[in-house]
Chains A and B, each alone.
Chain A
Amino acid sequence: MFRGLLSVALLLVTVTVTAHAETWPDKDWAKGTPLAGPAVDALNAYAFPPRDDTSRKGIRTDALLVIRDGEVIYERYAAPTTVSTPHLTWSVSKSLMATVLGVAYGENRFKLTDPAARFYPPMKQHPKVTMADLLHWASGLDWQEDYEYAPLKSSVVAMLYTRGHADMADFAADTDAASAPGQVFRYSSGDTNILSATLKGMLGHKAYMSYPWDALFKPLGIRSATWETDGDETFVASSYAYLTARDLARVGLLMARDGRWGEQQLLPKDWVAFNRQPFANYRGGQDEAVPGGHWWLNKGAPRPWPDAPGDTLAALGHWGQALYVMPAEHLVIVRYGDDRDGSYRHNDLLKHVLAAVQP
């Protein structure tokens, strides 16, 4: 009798502990119960319609991965992308750089109010631009962020491929000012590459070259990362980080759990709070979502993605790359794509995923 009670008590203790235990990926992700049902069929139909590689029209998902409570519950790839493809993330790289900078921030290497020129001398042309201004894409520099539709005037095309590729941060710092720093939101790949150069200034060249791995990728168990550099060996933080979908989801889980990885608070909580705080001078409709501290937010009225929760945090890139984090739903979603037109809608994908995860 007594033994019976004891085992019941032990069982209860075990169940309680298990219920509170968090699942973290080790070498690989744990597998949860795979999603099934008509809502999943609808999700598949939305994200993976038949693909036409000649016209390149429509939604062209390369990878879709859904993590709930630290476990994989949905995962699908379209050829040639596979589970082991380090996919180009384009501007998702910007939020990755913000996360790397968050570790440096926790090491007291800079303050948000520091002028960028303190770490990167070419920014002496714009002495009042602070780290926070750059993280808000509000440097005030006269930057033209267009890709293939306006290649002549595009600052980003010139930076990546022609006049800027030898030294992208220097090219960006050379831009004239259009407004006072911190006053106006103007999405700029130049601002991000200046941030990348400030990090080099904080660390020195040698430590900088391995810092994204030492500070972020290795602690999270990320093994697939490539981060390309410009001719001056500065990480192209605006555009050129490559990770498998499973590895990018690790960064999502870090953000979902407030910058903590297991027992370690890798990013200071006030850093994550800064990432999540909408930029005060953003005006509704200036971009497809609301800029926080180098992450995108689903804030405001109306919300940019009305079917997704208001605490959704996202890293977004050209041609449909996305990392979505929904802390209250315990969800992390990675979506890679090769969308060449505007068919893909963040809100539609998130609506489909949220319907598919309902019990």
Chain B
Amino acid sequence: MIRRRPFTSVFLLLLLALLGWIWHERVNLQAFPDIIAAYTAKEYCSCRYVENNPADYCRGYVKQYVPTSAFSDNPERSEVIASGLGRTHTARWLGDRHGCRLTP
């Protein structure tokens, strides 16, 4: 089999390795798409409402190599919502001492 179909065999082996890796990293892979939205919401919230920096500065500050698809900052509720890689997360400013936190 390996001798007659060397490319198919290598491909199948690689596929098997990939599936094994996906299984091994399943917890991390499932959480991975959440990072960019959660990071953007939380760090923008703190940049804006804890550090009191201007909104346009904070948008640049949180920019990463993974893009975000939607973003909203609601000053009257001190709430920041960000989306990216199909996930959406919200951070809220709680007060002077305790700053911002991701909502559950």
A residues lining the B interface (CB < 8 Å): 53, 80-81, 85-88, 148, 151-153, 157-158, 160-163, 165-166, 213, 225-231, 240, 242, 338
Contacts and interface: CB of A to CB of B under 8 A. Distances in A.
A228 B102 contact: no
Given A152-B29, A152-B32, A88 B51 contact: yes
5 contacts: A152-B32, A153-B25, A161-B38, A162-B31, A162-B38
Contact of B99 (A161, A163, A228): A228
B38 A228 contact: no
Given A88-B46, A240-B46, 5 more contacts: A80-B57, A88-B47, A163-B31, A231-B104, A242-B51
A165 B28 contact: no
A194 B101 CA distance: 19
Q: How large is the interface on B (under 10, 10 to 19, 20 to 34, 35 or more residues)?
A: 20 to 34
A311 B64 CA distance: 38
Contacts of A226: 50, 96-99
Interface of B: 25, 27-29, 31-32, 34-35, 38-39, 42, 46-47, 50-54, 57, 60-61, 64-65, 96-102, 104
Main secondary structure of the interface of A (DSSP, over half): loop
Contacts of A225: 97
A333 B2 CA distance: 66
B88 to A, nearest CB: 13
Contact of B51 (A85, A148, A163): A85
Contacts of B53: 80-81, 85
A228 B28 contact: no
Contacts of B51: 81, 85-88, 242
B69 to A, nearest CB: 17
B98 A151 contact: no
A87 B96 CA distance: 13
